[in-house]
Homo-oligomer: A and B are copies of this chain.
Amino acid sequence: MHEVLAAVLQVRDGQLQVLLWQRGIEPDAGRWALPGGRLGDSEDVQTSVLRQLAEKVDVREVAHVEQLQVFSAPDRMPQRRTVVTAFLGLVPCVADPVLPDDTAWHPVTDALQGSPPTAFDHGLIVRRARDRLRAKLSYTNLGFALAPPEFTISRLRELYAAALGHRVSATNLQRVLSRRGVLVPTGGTAAPGPSGGRPAALYRFAERGMRITDPFAVLRPPEPQHAPEGAVHLADPGAAP
């Protein structure tokens, strides 16, 4: 049997959290599992996981979904042999979907340490999801999927710090993203906090489509020569000795 699962991640309360539901029946009753379910006959895996998220946990605000990996160990679940395609899902920090009673957000760090206990191999899937997110935050504009449509650099810095698990310099974040052209100022400013301070400028991401600015520019192809032959007059119109 083939099923799909999603590790849906969101930054809440300054921590990266994952959406889990508590199993009511055996096997692994009482343990916490990722949302998902059986693959339908007339849908592909990504359509299926989005459908099931919408149906089961009312998550329609998923800003980004991507395939993580297939888990297929014959004994990964007792009883029936089940192959699963695992996904990473990201939800902006402003979203607060209504959840069923058996469903809740849990800090990823806690879940990876057994609190709450996770069902089957779902803990491993959560770890893969977190690692993938951390890697992609470094070299893509995947941050758009964690951030609101408009945000200040400070706000974005908090999101990155929560997701990456370490401190992040606002100055550096600002310029690294700007250089890549994924950060666009909207012109507006946010109101200062209660203790004053300079009002922060608002930004948005250039595109929501995982645009990557030359991924891993290492061992890149040689620069095309400016004008190997002919067309030289174009580059040199009226030069004087």
Contact = CB atoms under 8 A, between A and B. Distances in A.
Interface string A65-81: 00101101110000001
A26 interface: no
A223 to B, nearest CB: 11
Interface in A208-235: 215-216, 218-222
Contacts of A219: 137-138, 160, 164, 168, 172-173, 176
Contact of A216 (B67, B172, B216): B216
Contact of A45 (B70, B160, B167, B173): B70
Nearest to A167: B222
A42 interface: yes
A135 interface: yes
A198 interface: no
A118 B70 CA distance: 25
Contact of A44 (B41, B44, B74, B222): B74
Copies of this chain, how many? 2
Contacts of A39: 72, 83
Contacts of A73: 44
A67 B128 CA distance: 14
A2 B221 contact: no
Contacts of A215: 135
A29 B79 CA distance: 39
A166 B85 contact: no
B216 A43 contact: no
A120 interface: no
Given A2-B2, A39-B83, A83-B2, A139 B218 contact: yes
Contacts of A70: 45, 67, 70, 85
A33 to B, nearest CB: 20
Contacts of A135: 215-216
Interface of A: 2, 39, 41-45, 67, 69-70, 72-74, 81, 83, 85, 135, 137-139, 160, 164-169, 172-173, 176, 215-216, 218-222
The 5 lowest CB-CB distance pairs between A and B, nearest first, are: A166-B221, A44-B72, A138-B218, A45-B72, A138-B216
